[in-house]
Chains A and B, each alone.
Chain A
Amino acid sequence: MSSEATRVSAGSELAFRGSRVQGATMGEGGGTLLSVRSVTKTFDGISAVQDVSVEVGHGELVGLVGPNGAGKTTLFDCISGRLRPDRGHVFYEGSRIDHWPVHRRARAGIARTFQRMELFEELTVREHLLVADRAHRGGVLGALVHRGQQRPAERQRVDAMVELFGLTEVADTLVSALPLGTCRLVELARAMTCEPKLLLADEPSSGLGERDRDHITAVLRDAQSHWGMAMLLVEHDLAMVSQVVDRIVVMHLGRVIASGDYQTVMADPEVRRAYLGHAA
């Protein structure tokens, strides 16, 4: 099935290349986009995340790595609003967003993908992108009086996304009928439809075969250079991380134990002990 997924979306890398959205470079290097300050989150007396601080600049690509149970997904949940931190704050574009509900953060430009995918099984690929396009633009009351028919602008945006992610052949297929690799692409495309300034990608290659992995790595890189959004990438596949990110943050047992560029951090003996299990 992975071969099918790859074939289906073979065009996407090309589709991206050579086109760079206007203003994509705008934010790069232009200060802090997201700032997580001393966040702690405890479940039943066990702290999943303890006093963690992370900063992400505009357009910056940060890898978040660490062994299972290090608290990476919990940190994502705190940033995206699924969980409220017990202590500490989350700042985004200068404002404190601790009390913002998930949908408000999403509309402000924080998009995410999920480790266990959260797709809408009754909808087709195109409908996924359409509903995302509408949801991040309009409110519920607007939606109530809005007929299902697509406006030309909407259709154009959605078609463009479908094409960019190489999903044209499966655009009108229900996602429940798609192979895993394509589903991951759909989730990514759905997140990008929300025009995020910050993408939280939670193990986008988890469960994928090598070819799908390579493909999604390429898509991630291309998407970033196309739109220029900042990204926090949680990923166990270090090869993928090293290919995508500018800098990595290593978490272990709920704490940040190191951060910096890939080579330096991976040479850190403490990181090797925690993550790789040996100091050699």
Chain B
Amino acid sequence: MNTFLGYAIPGIPFGCTYAIVAIGLVLTYQTTGVFNFGFGAQAFASAFVYTVLVGRGIGTGISFVIAVLVLAPMLGVALDRLLFRHIASSNTVAKIVSSVGVLVAIPELLSLIFGNQTRFAPPQLFLNQASVYFHLGSTPINGLELETVIMSVAIVGIVIAILHSRGIGLEMRAAVESRRMLELHGVPANRVVGFAWVLSSTMAGLAGVLLAPQYPTLQANDFAILLVAAIAAAAVGSLRSVPLALAGGILLGVIGGLGAGYFPPSSIWHTGLLPGIPFLLLAVLLVAAPRLRNLETSNDPLASSDPPPPPPITVTRAPELDRLIKGGGRVLAVVAVVSVLTWVPANWVFVLTTGLVFSVVFLSITLITGMGGQLSLCQASFAGVGAFTAGQLALHFGMPVLLGIVVGTVVAGIIGAVAALPALRLRGLPLALLTLAFALLADNVAFPASWIGGPLTGLNVPRPQVGSLSFATESTRAFFVLALVVLILCALVVRFVQRGTIGSYLAAMRGSPAGAAAIGVNLNSTKVLVFSLSACLAGLGGGLYASLQQTVTPADFNYEFSLVFVVVVVTTGVRTIEGAIQAGLGFVVVQQLLSYLPGRFGAGGLAIVLFAFGALTYASHPEGVVEYQKRQWTQRAERILLRRAPRGTPPAMSIAGGAVPTIHHSLQPSARDRVESG
């Protein structure tokens, strides 16, 4: 019993750290309606500023005030005003992409501003970290542990008091359901939501400053990991209940403590299972708990006062311009390929080849997000599956690496299909969370195993050798051609799917799943198919990447890359094949160009910041901000070159009748309809 307690008790304070973040997530979700992936980044921002200030000799008190009570609320106001207020009625994918953009952008931005040297953890706020205050049984309790527990209990009390207060708490919860209804009751809803952002951001800042001393050095990654582990704790409370989120956090901490105690240190359980427990719990909860499945069902009774969505921008070009652009594009492509094969320096050939390989991976996002309409946050993991399969087969079985890549593609596809099975009933936020859990399970459980991810020094993957044709280091240009051919084949496959019957099924499902089922489309098998095909593409890209790089480690495919990939593709255009290729080439070329910049700007962070800001515009430009700009420029060019009136007027108007379009009021789904279908 004593041993049991000895293992369990140290787990409690650790669980409380999960709980603090989990409660912050619940608070944000309950009061703003946004599932805020950016919470981790906001916490990191405050911790970072606090650490910097303390490091410059400013007292902890003042630093605390600046970091938590000034900076954090300001960040909240900024996020609300500049971002989330404008996407309140956007779809789930847009909201997730935006908050993922925040998660990715803030830490990179901070290290751009302050430099990215190693920073050691700041001192604690109140108690002395090292001194032991008392013993519980035979377990010593030090200041760090005591402070965490005390603070988390205090936070639970405060958050419950706020959420259940009859004034602002009630109004915040009401605002999440319907701002318009709240306004009809005379409450300024935007101010209420603004206050909610201030509150939850302050909470994020507090969590950051409280939790920073837990880690030896201050790293954004720790906060991001903490965030996703905390999602599991929040999921215990269905993202709604604060006490259950606390319980969930402590449960995770205690399980971790017990596991660390009872599992032999070097066993597969200890190294393999233990780090994955939060994500396993998250996945199980998402699949099994009906309340989590229905997260997205709340609807605004007054949603029908929104104007109908604008018709999509016309993609058609004037035939003359179309010929011009297509012809020019072909010439450019040929020139580019010839240049690469002749005079472009080797390091740029390598960069461009990497870009082509990334494009293959990004096509998988075009398929699942652009065409399937669902967000997957584990595409990098599928790429990893392809890479490691190819590498291990080549290393241990002497299989030619090209064949290994093909096998890796198939394996990734099979895993994708299997992963799709539990995801069948999910869509939107729960599905995104489930795929994130998959990515983290892969990172923590699968990839660290040496029979998958290879030794710590990295898994060596050879370049292909076909007969006398070698793709080895000295002839990167040959690999460029290989990558180009593969990319073209993949693009053709995606285009085949897009234009074929399955593409029209997918378009139907995006428009209305119920309608698609009613005409006989099998939603489940279509989903499995798309997941699997998308995983194949990612796996293929991963295998090529491994062979190109010649050494890969699990860190090359961790969940952060999945997030960054989505952010990048969404910026350049998730709906088109062009978009994926632009994303692949753009991503590496921008990074390479920035590397010519001096010092900290060359670290690659700036590229990610740029794309993250691009992703923040996803809600207003779902076709991708780059694609949007391209269309704008095309229209401008058309006007200038062909001296033609803008053709902005979509056909909608002319058919709706007359010069002034009128709407039939009942076109708005009335609340009465909902009564019937309820």
Q: Residues of A at under 8 Å CB distance from B? A: 1-4, 43, 48, 68-69, 72-73, 80-82, 101-103, 106-107, 111-112, 114-116, 118-123, 127, 130-132, 134-136, 138-144, 146-148, 170, 173-174, 176-181, 190-191, 193-194, 206-209
Cβ–Cβ < 8 Å partners of A178 in chain B? 655-656
Interface check B664, CB cutoff 8 A: yes
| Bound CA–CA A80/B665 (angstroms) | 29
Could you show 8 A-B contacts with beta carbons less than 8 Å apart? A73-B677, A81-B517, A102-B517, A131-B508, A140-B526, A148-B503, A170-B655, A194-B520
Which of B507, B516, B518: most chain A CB closer than 10 A? B518
Per the bound structure, the CA–CA distance linking A122 and B506 in Å amounts to 10
| Contact (Cβ within 8 A) B518 A143 | no
B523 on the A face (CB < 8 A): yes
CB of B667 closer than 8 Å to a CB of A: yes
In the assembled complex, B650 has its CB within 8 A of some CB on chain A: yes
Contact A131 B678 (CB under 8 A): no
A147 touching B500, Cβ below 8 Å: yes
B130: chain A residues at CB < 8 Å are none
Asked if B515 and A114 make an inter-chain contact with CB atoms under 8 angstroms apart, the answer reads: yes
Any A CB within 8 A of the CB of B2: no
The minimal Cβ–Cβ distance linking A127 to chain B, given in whole angstroms, is 6
CB of A167 to closest CB in B, whole Å: 12
Tell me how many residues of B have a C-beta within 8 Å of chain A.
52
Query: A138-B501, A177-B656 are contacts. A118–B515 as well, Cβ < 8 Å?
Result: yes
Selected contact of B672 from candidates A68, A176, A181, CB within 8 Å: A68
Instruction: From the candidates A73, A120, A136, A193, name the one contacting B512 in the complex (CB within 8 A).
Output: A120
B655 and A73: CB pair below 8 A? no
Q: A135-B520, A143-B505 are in contact. Are A123 and B664 (CB under 8 A)?
A: no
**Distance in angstroms between the alpha carbons of A68 and B678 in the assembled complex:** 11
Q: Contact between A120 and B676 (Cβ–Cβ < 8 Å)?
A: no
Known contacts: A73-B676, A123-B508. The answer to whether A2 contacts B664 by CB under 8 A is: yes
Q: Give the residue of A111, A148, A170 whose beta carbon is less than 8 angstroms from that of B499.
A: A148
Verify A134–B501 contact, CB threshold 8 A: yes
CB contact under 8 A between A112 and B311, given known A43-B678, A68-B675, A144-B529: no
Cβ of B677 and Cβ of A102 under 8 Å apart? no
- Enumerate chain A residues within 8 angstroms of B502, measured Cβ to Cβ: 140, 143-144, 146
Residues in A with CB closer than 8 Å to B655 are 4, 170, 173, 177-179
A118 lies within 8 A of B501 (CB):
no
Cβ distance B308 to chain A, nearest Cβ, rounded Å? 8
> At the interface, yes or no: B288 with Cβ under 8 Å from chain A?
no
Cα A43 to Cα B673 with chains together (Å)? 17
User: Given A72-B676, A131-B508 in contact, is the A116-B517 Cβ separation under 8 Å?
Assistant: no
Which residue, of B500, B663, B665, has the highest number of chain A Cβ atoms within 10 A?
B500
- Write the nearest CB–CB distance from A97 to chain B, whole angstroms: 14
Q: Do A103 and B523 form a contact, CB below 8 Å, given A130-B504, A180-B667? A: yes
Given the interface contacts A3-B657, A115-B677, does A135 sit within 8 Å of B650 by beta carbon?
no
Interface centre among A2, A144, A174, A178 (most CB of B within 10 A): A144
Task: Tell me which residues across on chain B come within 8 A of A3, comparing CB atoms.
Answer: 657
Contact across chains for B507 and A173 when beta carbons are under 8 A apart: no
Bound CA span A109–B216, Å:
66
Name B504's closest neighbour in chain A (CB-CB).
A131
Q: In whole Å, how far is B605's beta carbon from the nearest beta carbon of chain A?
A: 37
Residues 211-254 of B at the A interface (beta carbon under 8 Å): none
Contacts of A206 in B (CB 8 A): 666, 673
**Complex interface residues of chain B between 351 and 383 (CB less than 8 A to chain A):** none
Q: A4-B655, A177-B311, A177-B651 are in contact. Are A135 and B519 (CB under 8 A)?
A: yes
In the assembled complex, the Cα of A207 lies from the Cα of B502 at a distance in Å of: 33
Closest Cβ of chain B: how far from A140's Cβ, in Å?
A: 4
- Contacting pair B676 A180 (CB below 8 A): no
Mark interface residues in B149-174 (1 if CB within 8 Å of A CB, else 0). Answer: 00000000000000000000000000
Chain A CB within 10 A, most for which of B312, B524, B656: B656
Say if the beta carbon of B652 comes within 8 Å of chain A: yes
Q: Is B525 interfacial (CB-CB < 8 Å)?
A: yes
Q: Is B521 an interface residue (CB 8 A)?
A: yes
Within the assembled complex, what's the spacing in Å between the Cα atoms of A3 and B511? Answer: 27
The answer, yes or no, to whether B455 is at the interface (CB within 8 Å) is no
11 extra interchain contacts, Cβ-Cβ under 8 A, other than A121-B511, A148-B504, A180-B664? Answer: A82-B517, A114-B515, A118-B514, A122-B510, A140-B529, A143-B501, A146-B501, A173-B655, A177-B650, A191-B519, A208-B666
Known contacts: A123-B508, A135-B520. The answer to whether A4 contacts B501 by CB under 8 A is: no
> With A115-B673, A140-B505 known to touch, is A120 a contact of B516 (CB < 8 Å)?
yes
**Cross-chain contact A122 with B507 (CB below 8 angstroms):** yes
Q: List residues of chain B with CB within 8 A of the CB of A114.
A: 514-515, 518
With both beta carbons as reference points, the residue of chain A lying nearest to B510 in the complex is identified as: A122
- Complex alpha-carbon distance, A136 and B507, angstroms: 16
Which A residues are in CB contact (< 8 Å) with B525?
139-141
Q: Which residues of A contact B510 (CB under 8 A)?
A: 120, 122
Q: A68-B672, A131-B508 are in contact. Are A120 and B518 (CB under 8 A)?
A: no
What distance in Å separates the Cβ of B518 from its nearest Cβ neighbour in chain A?
5
Determine the distance from Cα of A118 to Cα of B655 in the docked complex, in whole angstroms: 21
Is B589 in contact with chain A by the CB < 8 A criterion? no
How far does the Cβ of A130 sit from chain B's closest Cβ, in whole Å? 7
Does B632 touch A at the CB level, under 8 Å? no
Take A143-B501, A143-B505, A146-B501 as given contacts and tell me if A190 and B519 are in contact as well, using a CB distance cutoff of 8 Å: yes
A68 to B311, Cβ gap below 8 A?
Answer: no
Q: Known contacts A1-B657, A179-B657; is A139 also within 8 Å of B522 by CB?
A: yes
Whether the pair A132, B519 counts as a contact (CB closer than 8 A) is yes
**B656, A1: Cβ atoms under 8 Å?**
yes
